[in-house]
Amino acid sequence: SQQGEEDPQALSIQEGENATMNCSYKTSINNLQWYRQNSGRGLVHLILIRSNEREKHSGRLRVTLDTSKKSSSLLITASRAADTASYFCATAGGSARQLTFGSGTQLTVLP
């Protein structure tokens, strides 16, 4: 089942601008993760935020988590053409021994 839903489905921005993607989920979670996928390739883990954290940074990435709204956002600052990819959120919750992925946001950064 698709736990997370990303918004928007597609986003196109100019190089140097910031990109914000949102993820909503339905049930309680232990952690929420963001992954990146280049076309035709596997996913790469970007960042993890735990349910007791509200914000986390890694390089040009900033992730926020609002457990009361069951939502998360991923901000990529000063985007580059190389950031063009699909971005997925994934949730790990309760006793589930698996991650549940959302449907993804396709980000295009124009040079």
Partner 1 sequence: DGGITQSPKYLFRKEGQNVTLSCEQNLNHDAMYWYRQDPGQGLRLIYYSQIVNDFQKGDIAEGYSVSREKKESFPLTVTSAQKNPTAFYLCASSPDRMEKLFFGSGTQLSVL
CB of 2 to partner 1, least distance (A): 6
The span from the CA of 73 to the CA of 18, in Å, is 13
In whole angstroms, how far apart are CA 10 and each of 21, 22, 56? 9, 11, 24
Residue window 45-64: x/- pattern of binding to partner 1, with contact defined by CB under 8 A: x--x----------------
The span from the CA of 87 to the CA of 97, in Å, is 22
108 lies in the site for partner 1, by CB under 8 A = no
- What are φ and ψ of residue 62, in 5° steps? -135, 125
Q: Kindly determine how many residues on this chain lie close enough to bind partner 1 according to the rule CB under 8 A.
A: 27
What is the enclosing helix (H) or strand (E) of 21? strand 19-24
CB of 85 to partner 1, least distance (A): 13
Give the residue, chosen from 52, 59, 68, 98, that forms a contact with partner 1 under the rule CB under 8 A.
98
- What are φ and ψ of residue 84, in 5° steps? -60, 120
In the range 75-94, which residues lie near partner 1 by CB under 8 A? 88, 90, 92
28 lies in the site for partner 1, by CB under 8 A = no
Q: Applying CB under 8 A, which residues contact partner 1?
A: 1-2, 4, 30-31, 33, 35, 40-45, 48, 88, 90, 92, 96-104, 106
